[in-house]
Amino acid sequence: MGDPAGIGPEVIVKALAEPEIRRRARFVIYGMNELLSYAADMAELDVYWWRDQHERFDRDYMRGVIVADYDEINWFSTNVRESSKIGGQASMRFACDAIDDALAGKIDAMVTAPISKESWHLAGFKYPGHTELLTDRCRAKCSAMMFVGGPFRVVLATIHMALANIRNRLTIGKVFDPINLANDALIKWFGIEKPKIAVAALNPHAGEAGQFGDDEKRIISPAILMAQEAGINVEGPFPADTLFHKALHEQCYDIIVAMYHDQGLIPIKLLAFDKAVNVTIGIPIIRTSVDHGTAFDIVGRNRANPASMLAALHLACDMALTKKKKNQHKIIKSREDTL
C-alpha cells in the first residue's frame, strides 16, 4: 500500500475497481483496511474484499481481493498527511511482508504503491527506496531500474545521484550490468528470445571522437564489447538526442540503456506520464511499481490518477503469465528429454 499518508490507498482501490484487472488475478493488499475503505468511500466505489490475515493463501477466493489488514496500526489517531516515522514503519512492514511472501512462492508478483523516502529515514531505515530494499532482502548481486511506458523500455546505469558525480561513478561494470540484466529480464519476464539492446552515450554527439569527453571510448564501448562477447545483441553508444527518435519511429530496439536518470525518464514521461511503470530487474521475484510519488498534497481529495497503478498491475500479470508459460515449457521439454 506504500506510505499510509500518501495516495497509495486511493490509486489501489480505483485500479482494482476496474473489472478488466479483477478478471486477471486474485489480489492481496498489504495495508490497512480502514484506509482502503475510506479511499473507496471518497471515490464512491463499491469495492468488496475479504479480510483474512492468517489464511489468505489457503483458500480459493475466485478472483477476489484480500486485505492482509494491519489493524494494530492506529493510523487515524495520528491524522498524518506528510512524511512521518509511523508512516515509514508501516510502509516498511507492508513491503517486507510482500517480499517474503513472493520469495516463498505464496504470491506470483509484487506491485508497490509509492513510499516516502523521508518517512523511511525518520523510521531509521537505511534504504533510499524499494529498489535497494528488494536487492538486499532478495540477496541479489546487483539490480537495476527498468521503466516501461508508451513505446519505450528503458533501464538506467545510474539512478539517483548528482549529475556532477556521474562521470566519477560510471564504470565499465556499471554499464555492463544493466545491459546484462535487461537482456535476462526481457527473455525471462517478457518472452523476447533475442532482445535487441541500444546503449545511449553520456556526452553530446557520443563525445565527438573525444572532443566532448572520453567516457564513450574509455567506459561505455568496452562494456558493450563485453556484453557482445557474452552473446548479447547490443549496439552503441549512440547520441541520446537521436537514439530515442530512432527507437520510436523505427521500432528497432527492445530496450535502451540510459546513462543517467533524466536521460531515460524524460522520453518515458513525455509520452506516457500517467502510465509509466517501474520494474526492478536482477532480483528473483517480479516487482512492478507506480512511477510517481506519494502526492501528500492531494490526499483525501479524490484527485489521484490510478493509471500508473493499473498499468503496473497489468504488467505484473503479463510478466507472471510469461514466467508460468516458460516454466511449463521447461517441464514439457524435460519430460520429452526423459522419454
CATH number, domain of 221, equals 3.40.718.10
Boundary-marking domain end, from 243, 262, 282: 282
Same domain, 238 and 119: no
DSSP letters, 34-83, are: HHHHHHHHHTT-----EE-SSSTTTS--SS-EEEEE-TTS--TTT---S-
d(CA 153, CA 178): 12
How many other C-beta atoms lie within 10 A of the C-beta of residue 305? 18
Same domain, 217 and 323: no
Nearest-10 crossing angle of helices 33-42, 8-16: 70
Same domain, 150 and 205: yes
Same domain, 220 and 319: no
CB-based contacts of 289, cutoff 8 Å, min separation 6: 111, 112, 113, 114, 130, 277, 278, 279, 280, 312
pLDDT at residue number 167: 84
pLDDT at residue number 138: 97
Greatest mean pLDDT among 26-40, 62-76, 95-109 lies in 95-109
Same domain, 174 and 131: no
pLDDT at residue number 257: 98
Same domain, 166 and 118: no
d(CA 263, CA 226): 23
Same domain, 153 and 268: yes
Confidence of residue 281 (pLDDT cuts 50, 70, 90): very high
Same domain, 156 and 262: yes
Confidence of residue 104 (pLDDT cuts 50, 70, 90): very high
**3-state helix, strand and coil shares in percent for the chain, rounded to the nearest 5:** 45, 15, 40
Q: Are 202 and 258 in contact (CB under 8 A)?
A: no
Same domain, 85 and 153: no
pLDDT at residue number 267: 94
Which has the minimum average pLDDT: 31-35, 56-60, 233-237, 309-313?
A: 56-60
Same domain, 33 and 91: yes
C-alpha cell at 314: 497489468
Same domain, 224 and 127: no
pLDDT at residue number 60: 40
The domain containing residue 79 runs over which residues? 1-140+286-339
Boundary-marking domain end, from 282, 305, 331: 282
CA dihedral sign of residues 124, 126, 129, 133 = negative
Same domain, 308 and 270: no
pTM of the predicted model, to two decimals? Answer: 0.88
Greatest mean pLDDT among 111-115, 126-130, 250-254 lies in 111-115
- Rounded to an integer, the average pLDDT of 304-320 is 96
Boundary-marking domain end, from 233, 254, 282: 282
Total domain count for the chain?
2
What are the b/e assignments for 104-116, b being 16+ CB within 10 Å? eeebbbbbbbbbb
